[in-house]
Amino acid sequence: MSDFPQDQVAREGRKHPSIFEPATLALGLLMAVLGGVIGIQLLTRVGITPNSSVIGAVVAMTLARIPLAVFRPFGSLERQNLLQTVISGATFGGANALLLPIGIPWVLGRPDLVLPMF
């Protein structure tokens, strides 16, 4: 067998974690909102789209250190990867997909169409 980290779940006979588990879903939704806000703020203020996926891993590792049973599963590498994916997608989505519909009318010379979009 291979010693790659992705084989850890298969070797130990565990089931892959799902984003639809209640604790993971709640934290994922919270991080998605946070990531969307971070993405919009950084794109509008600095002009860059951030690489914020490391925030998901740091939050999950920090929660895993809290000595409560509900936070223990966040020590799993697979759950940390799920949360990294959630916040990374939300950050790029917030930075690009939410801001793009507002920017197109502005660039086309129709700033009067921007206000109704809010």
For 14-73, write each residue's pLDDT tens digit. 788 999 999 999 999 999 998 888 888 888 888 777 777 788 888 888 888 988 888 888
Q: Is the pTM of this model over 0.85?
A: no
Query: Does position 11 have pLDDT exceeding 70, yes or no?
Result: no
Residues 6+ apart with CB under 8 A from 27: 59, 60, 63, 74, 83
Q: Note whether 8 and 75 are within 8 A (CB).
A: no
Residue 61 CB: number of other CB atoms within 10 A?
14
CA 31-40-98 angle, to 5 degrees, is: 95
Q: How far apart are CA 66 and CA 51, in angstroms?
A: 26
